Structure 1
Amino acid sequence: MSRMRAAIKESALAPAQITELTGVQRFSFGQNFIGFAGHFPEYPILPAVLQVLLAQLLAEEIIGSPLSVLSLTRAKFLRQLRPEDQIEVHLSCRKKDTAWACRCELQVDGQSAASFTLNLGVSTC
């Protein structure tokens, strides 16, 4: 997954804006982005698993530690994310026992494209 993580980070339009336990970061993925490979031929869309990875990477920046996904709840994927879309990831995290609960919303042109709560644990790797 490190190759995918690197490709995602290269697609960031600017550094993340982080304030306490919240963050915002913008991305745009070109037609040749590795995450579109096979999903789908002739009609590329950003897979949901990569939308979750966007949130996980931003959460790692906010919290300052590598994190593992424990669960995903309240997920709604409302529109297809296509090449060249400018995607804005909004994340708000809070400590929940020994884990983190991060509420995420992905927006395109100010409209919600996806939202979910990502429950993360500090990675031991």
Structure 2
Amino acid sequence: MSTPAQAAMSPLPTPWTWTFHEHSCEGTHATVRLPADLGAAHMAGHYPNHPILPAVLIMDWVQQAATRLNGASLHLHHLHRARFVRPLHPADTLNLTLDLRPGQPPSAQIHAHAQIMRCEDQCEDQLAAELDATFTPVPAHA
């Protein structure tokens, strides 16, 4: 995951378009569609002759999406749960859906639930990964 002094492993395109975005008093819910080959540089050695999107890159993309939704830089505070159930290959398209909820005051923490679905042309999308994490804002001076 990115830290304040470290750039994203594989930056997501800028600008991007959320395919769904809803903000309420309870938090923010949004989905973005991404081609898995955005991480092609990291797939080459993971694994030879059978490249898949590394889990750490998926986690980095979740952090980048959370930062964009939040409007300010975030860093991972705690990863509560991560489940990777299906590999993502270079030709796959994924839907990254993110639910952000603010922590209870006075905490500045943001709780996130992310679902990464592999998009299928002829059938329903398939769950590829699911993450629950807490992020904290990066101080302005960092």
TM-score, normalised with respect to structure 2 = 0.76
Q: Greater shift after overlay, 114-123 or 34-43? A: 34-43
1:1-125 matched pairs, under 5 angstroms: 2=7, 4-6=9-11, 8-9=12-13, 15-16=17-18, 17-20=20-23, 21-30=28-37, 33-96=40-103, 97-109=107-119, 110-124=125-139, 125=142
TM-score (norm 1): 0.86
Instruction: Please tell me whether Structure 1 or Structure 2 has the larger radius of gyration of its CA atoms.
Output: 2
Q: May I ask how many residue pairs the two structures share in their alignment?
A: 122
Return structure 1 stretches of 4+ with deviation > 4 angstroms. Answer: none
What percent identity do the matched residue pairs reach? Answer: 25
Q: Which has the higher helix share?
A: 1
Q: Distance in 2 between matches of 1:4 and 1:71?
A: 19
Q: Report the RMSD for the aligned CA atoms in angstroms.
A: 2.1
- How far does the alpha carbon of each residue in 1:36-94 deviate from its partner, in whole angstroms, 9 at most, with x for none? 13211211111111111111111111110111011111211100111111100000010
Segments of structure 1 that go 5 or more residues without pairing to the other structure are: none
How many Å separate the matches in 2 of 1:116 and 1:4? Answer: 18
Contact 1:18 1:62 in 2 (8 A): no
Q: Give 5+ residue unaligned stretches, structure 2.
A: 1-5, 120-124
